[in-house]
Structure formats: C-alpha cells, structure tokens
Amino acid sequence: MLGKERILELGAQILGISTADETEALVISDETALTRFANSAIHQNVFEVGVEVRVRAVLGGRIGVATTNSIDERSVRDVVDRAVTCARLAPATPDFHGLPEPQPIPQVETFSQTTASYTPERRAADVKGICEAALAEDLNASGAWSNSEIEVGVTNSRGISAYNLRSHASLKTVVMAANSSGYAERTAVDASQIDVAGAGQEAIDKALRSRNPVPVEPGDYTVVLEPYAVGTMLDYFASVGLGALALQEGRSFMNGHLGDRLLGTNITMWDDGLDPRGMPVPFDFEGVPKQRVMFFDRGAAIGVVYDSFTAGREGKRSTGHGLPAPNTWGPVPLNIFLAEGDASKEDLLRDIERGLWVSRFHYVNVVHPTQAILTGMTRDGTFLIEHGQLTRPVRNLRFTQSVLDALSHVEAIGRDAIMLQDEWGGTRVPALRIGRFTFSSATDF
C-alpha cells in the first residue's frame, strides 16, 4: 500500500504540474487476496496489487480526464498533460459549476487489521471446511473468499485533501447437486466477523432441500423474497431512479412524484455511507463527505442522491455520491438500507395458502426505468408455499415486475437484515413478503 503521505503527495504533485484552471487528482491503491474454489477444491490463489491515478482538468468549462497506473515522475507528468489536452479539445459543459470545495470529513471506522492480515493458509482452511461439508453430502462447492485493502486519496485545486483506508472481506459460495443448488454470501469490514462455516452450511442446506424441483405455472403469486433477492431488486431499483441525473433527465420513476406516496407505508429506505452496520466510507470520489439521504419515508418519496455536477445544476450541495470522472451514470447510491420489520420466518409464511419462496435473483435487466419494471430469473432454491409451510422445491421462473408495485404490496418485513456486497459499498436488507409478484414464464430446470 502507498500510504496516506505518498498518496496525498502524488495529489499535490499533480496540482503543481497542471496548467488547467482547476484540477482534481484521484488516487486509488489496493491489495486484494483471493482464494477461488470449484468442484470442492481450491484451484486458484491470487494476490493482486494495483494503483490508478485519475486526473480531471478543467479549462473554461471544458473538462478532460486521463488515467495511468504508473506513478513515476514521467508518467505523472504525462497523465496531467493528457488531461489538459483533452480539456482543450472537449466541448464546453455549460451546466458545470466547478470542482467541489472542501468540507469537514467525518470520522468512521473503515479498516480492520484482521482483514488486512488474513493469510492464504487461513482462507484455505476456511474453504476446506466448506468443501468437505459439501462432499459429505455428495455435493459440489464453488465460490470465492477474498480480503482486500483499498486506499483512496482525493485532492483538488479548491483545497480538498481527503484520504481513507478501508478493508473489505467477501465470501460467496454456490453448492450444487445434479438438479439443485444453494447460495450464500457474506461481507464485512472485519473478516473475523464472517461465519464462513455457517455460510457454507446455508448453501448446502439449500442445495439439499431444492433437489428434484417440480414445475409450476407462471402467474401472480404471494412471495417471500430472501434478502439476496431483495438486495438485487433494490440495487437495480436504485441505479435506474434514485440518482439526480436520472431525475434531471426525466427518466426516473421519481419524476413528478417527490412528496407523493409511491410505496407502502411500511417501506422506509435510505442511503448512509457512515453507518457502521454497513460498509462505511467517509467521502465519495470527489472528496465530498457522505450524507444520509432518505429515499422513501413510510412510502413517501423524499429525495435522490447528488454529485457536484448534478447539485450545481440545481444550486444544491452534493450529497457525497460522486463516481470517478468521467461519469455518464451520474451519482449512484452505494450504501443502501431498507428498514427491518418484526417478522420471523414463520410470520413471513403464515396464512399463505399458495405462494413461492425465492432465495435469489440473477440475470436481471431493466425493462422500463420510469415504471421501475425489471425482469430476471429465480435461482439457487425456489420453493412452493402451501398452507403456510414450505413444501416442495420448484423449477425456476422468470419474473417481470414493477418494483414500485412490489414495494406497494409488502405484507410483512423480516426482523433480520444482512449485509450484501457492492464493490464500493453495500446493501443491507431484510426479507420481504409481497402480496402480488408476477412470474411471466417458467423454465425446465
């Protein structure tokens, strides 16, 4: 790792070289160690070290960006020159109101030495436990167990000088039989907080229970979505409509509805990069401190996230959700929370005469962003619910569903939330029972 002093020194060096009106230097350095396994055996150990320097130069409203992964003096001078040249050649951006100014950076715990020092031998022992437990049930285990350190430094010519060191541990595993599978995922700042054996057993149990699935007809069902399915659904939901750029361009489901009740009164959802229950990070890729942003308060649409560009358009301040430039996505929520309820597993199932239990979604795509309609597949354990009980595993189904509609028909919310991985943040969500969810077609597996 480069360390705080070296990263901020690089930023100062870039500012000293640049001839632009305004300059921003973003330096990202990381070390990632990964143990990958398949067919119940480790097949790859990886240790990767990387650095990226990204320079944003501003000349009279024209913006240029250049990157390099070399930090010797010649490379640093070259990347600055390229950024300035790009700015000279770029068209003007009338809505750009300058780089952000410095603000106090909040203190939040983002690093664990335990994660940083987690050895390949320890990861191998963890993975061995999952593989042996799977083999004992005549199942195949695969997945990845990784730990990483990431440091981010942002400096700009308006006075920002921000640095953060964070750690990230992530376990994902899929356990398979001939016609069934199970999945588990865990993520944390501190690797020692992850119950590796428990995650492996979760995936094994699901693979065993989902053997020999039976077909069911597509249609509208009452569903119980496990947190894995809820997290995927909300990540797509947020990406298409909870950023200011989508709102400003008229392609968000929030357009014309701020202040209206769009969801059920039992739904409260927000973004908070400072909450220690998530994967905290104190500032964004522009060096702007993270703010808590409420999206829905008891179903009412409250707001969206901003970066400096979209905030400047409206005379507002960034909420600390800027991505690395150049950025066509606009600001994106990266630390999503959905408020828990009080329902146990039994409560979620109670009184469902015929419904479906969904473990996970995959192959999800957006059908209609302004109506928040998604399509995708169930995966890794889908079960029939009959008379309030989980009965038989069923073959996978394709869903085509408005998330707005789904979150307007939530009948119960689980009392236990779990943290799911995002590369630069995370999503913390409970299970949901939804009264009406549309499955548009079935599969043969």
Sheet containing strand 41-59, edge to edge, reads 62-68, 41-59, 22-38, 140-156, 161-176, 181-188
In tens, the pLDDT along 254-278 reads 999 999 999 999 999 999 999 999 9
Report domain 4-207's class: alpha beta
Torsion from C-alpha of 235, 239, 240, 245, nearest 10 degrees: 160
Answer yes or no: are the C-beta atoms of 162 and 287 closer than 8 Å: yes
- For the chain, the domains span 4-207, 213-442
Owner of token pair 């008229």: 250
* Tens of pLDDT, residues 204-224: 999 999 999 999 999 999 999
Please give the Cα distance from 318 to 100 (Å, whole number).
8
The pTM of the full predicted model, rounded to 2 decimals, is: 0.96
pLDDT value of position 50: 96
pLDDT band at 203, cuts 50/70/90? very high
Is residue 371 pLDDT above 90, yes or no?
A: yes
Mean pLDDT of 73-79: 98
Mean pLDDT for the chain overall: 97
Q: Is the pLDDT of residue 169 over 90?
A: yes
d(CA 354, CA 390): 10
pLDDT at 379: 97
pLDDT at residue 421, as a whole number: 79
Q: What are phi and psi of 318, to 5 degrees?
A: -60, 145
301 pLDDT more than 80:
yes
Average pLDDT over residues 293-308: 98
- pLDDT for 422 beyond 80: no
The pLDDT of residue 121 is above 80: yes
| Run of H or E residues at 309 | helix 308-313
| Predicted local distance difference test score (pLDDT) of residue 205 | 98
> Cα(201)–Cα(131) distance, rounded to whole angstroms?
10
Give the confidence band of 424 by pLDDT, cuts at 50, 70, 90: confident
Rounded average pLDDT over 324-338? 95
Residue 388 pLDDT = 97
CA–CA dist 151, 53 (Å, integer) = 12
